[in-house]
Structure 1
């Protein structure tokens, strides 16, 4: 028989929980009711983005990419102020401010 230590039992248990929750999340992601509920107010952006993908597949890449870009900006229009606000405040975070200061000094081309 193979002896299993307590740490191995804990590892198997946490791995099992992780796999269960990943699969549960994937199942919920593909639930049509949740998808429709989450995208109900973003149908215009979703339509333009998916329409752009179809146009690219129909060999009109430039037009398709413009449609995808327009759809992307419509889908994530509410997220952009949050992202730019975080980038504006990133210099106040201790670890990131030290990283930015370190990167500032290494920008010489010589």
Structure 2
């Protein structure tokens, strides 16, 4: 499957958003970096999956707690409460995107070097079991 130009830009924006959020946390919860990271992440996600699918993703009734926490955390970062905002946002992120973690781990297990690391005895007991194709 090939990505369109819009989706490629979205992947870049999402990656920059995650980078800015990581830098914001590393710089002792710098509110400006966290805010820029949140904006870039949401813009990138919207460009990758589309506006309508993004709205449907966040408006799912079974994930409403995650949506409220995620956007509430972003709001707290914007009103200069970055530490509490990141904690609330992280909780919402886990609730929203937690279903994707087994898929991501399964993909990472197929990669040459990372797959060997994830199969190590000390690490593999904390990860979900591999799925049969």
> Which whole-Å CA distance do the structure 1 matches of 2:92 and 2:80 have between them?
19
- In structure 2, the partner of 1:63 is 84
Aligned length: 70
TM-score, normalising length: structure 1: 0.50
How far did residue 55 of structure 1 move? 0.7
- In structure 1, the partner of 2:103 is 82
Change (3 A) 1:36 1:66: same
> Which whole-Å CA distance do the structure 1 matches of 2:54 and 2:110 have between them?
33
Q: With CA pairs under 8 Å and 6+ residues apart, which has the higher RCO, 1 or 2?
A: 2
> Which whole-Å CA distance do the structure 2 matches of 1:49 and 1:30 have between them?
18
- In structure 2, the partner of 1:49 is 70
Change (3 A) 1:36 1:70: same
Equivalent position SS for 1:78:
helix
How far did residue 89 of structure 1 move? 1.9
How far did residue 35 of structure 1 move? 4.8
Equivalent position SS for 2:99:
coil
Q: Structure 1: which 4+ aligned runs deviate by more than 6 Å?
A: none
TM-score, normalising length: structure 2: 0.42
Q: Write out per-residue CA displacement over residues 64-96 of structure 1, whole angstroms, 9 at most, x where no aligned residue.
A: 0101111111111011011111111212xxxx7
* Residue 57 (structure 2) pairs with residue 38 (structure 1): yes
